[in-house]
Amino acid sequence: MARESLSGSEPARRRVVVVGGGFGGLQAARKLGGAPVDVTLVDRQNFHLFQPLVYQVATGALSAAEVAAPLRGVFKRQANVRVVLAEVSGFDLERRQVLLDHLPNGARGERLDYDTLVVAGGSRYSYFGHDDWRERAPELKSLAGALDIRNRILTAFEAAEIEPDEERRRSWLTFVVVGGGPTGVEMAGQIAELARETLRRDFRHVDTRAARVLLVETADRILTGFPPSLSHKAERSLEKLGVTPFVGHTVVDVGSASVAIRSANGEIEDVGARTVIWAAGVAASPLATALASAEGSEVDRAGRLTVTAGLTLPDHPEVFAIGDMVRIAQRNGEIVALPGLAPVAMQEGRYVARAIRNRLGGRATEDFKYVDKGNLATIGRSKAVADVKGIRISGFPAWVTWLVVHLFYLIGFQNRLLVVTRWTFSFITRGRGARLISESR
């Protein structure tokens, strides 16, 4: 394949390349529909993953297909957008080219030309220098990670059912969730409900209600992005579900059958646990480092690239970078790192599309300003907390708010219909229809 074949001949219209089919990249590409540009969306996966609901895949409440939308299906009616399945390996900013590897036809080292580039690489979980823990404590950022976790959780109950040794059975029935943010809280609550409600009649020799769920958070409270009053309400709700929050505690080692947890006073306790789920700390996508290297700049300790208030590289205004992988240098010199949330990436994606359209029309675009619409976190059945524009609610009203918001932002009418049907059935029956161990460990 010739190097220029991916870009075609000399373009009649401006070429926009969007790297990443997550929340930011998807919004940028969708909002350029009908614009006089040719958009190429590059992603190493052929689907958009709705990450806020991935934990429900990990606990059998939803199936994988219900939280993922094929990218080609999303853009089938948007004639100016094409999708390329490939992994981005680097950037040539001087030649305005994206370097591609691992294309589905086996090609490597391809180059894709652009006039405007949008990089939305997202983030991944950070193991704080202990990448060897990754194999024993899978993360919840990817669909593969969620399916792996589902296998481990369900296998743990199966193992406890046939385990004759009492101590080993307790370790199979102990689940440790690392990280007290929204994902960790939601995951811990779902495991507790799975053990105490869904599975309690499924097994004959083990009482699944004896399962321990530990939520470990280094800070002095869970949900630090919420007001303290909501954090405390969430903690009490978790305790009622049977979750034990370990606030002010830190995981210092993850073994195959135990987890070492250090308390605030320095004491270390070895907890027998064979299932550990990682939901603590994030690091920017490696694409941020690749882009910084191409520009000749540096990234911060979390691997984030610094962009201008217009979300562009300082020396390359034709290159936008958005989402979890960037921090923003304001005009007053202040550097702001926005929270790694889907609404942030979505607003940035829409802003970039508007900026590109304005450039085509010779119009200026104001600096990006994030509008914080609030935070939501679900804890369990009919339990959630919400902080929406200063209005703080909890319990059933917050839970309904959480349901409506997530259904609204879920991609695809079919997925919305399937998810609301699944949720309704689960609410009535307390069941979970996707409790499949897809492969043996």
Query: Which residues does the annotation mark as catalytic?
Result: 186
Helices (H), 275-409: 286-295, 342-360, 396-409
Indicate the residue type of 416.
Answer: R
State how far the Cα of 308 lies from the Cα of 365, in Å rounded to an integer: 13
State how far the Cα of 441 lies from the Cα of 433, in Å rounded to an integer: 21
State how far the Cα of 6 lies from the Cα of 14, in Å rounded to an integer: 15
**In 3-state terms, what secondary structure has residue 426?**
helix
Strand runs (DSSP E) across 230-296, as ranges? Answer: 243-247, 250-254, 258-262, 268-272, 275-278, 282-284
Helices (H), 242-312: 286-295
CA atoms within 13 A on the CB side of 348: 32
State how far the Cα of 328 lies from the Cα of 439, in Å rounded to an integer: 43
Question: Which burial class, exposed, middle or buried, applies to 439 when counting CB atoms under 10 A from its CB (0-12, 13-18, 19+)?
Answer: exposed
**In 3-state terms, what secondary structure has residue 65?**
helix
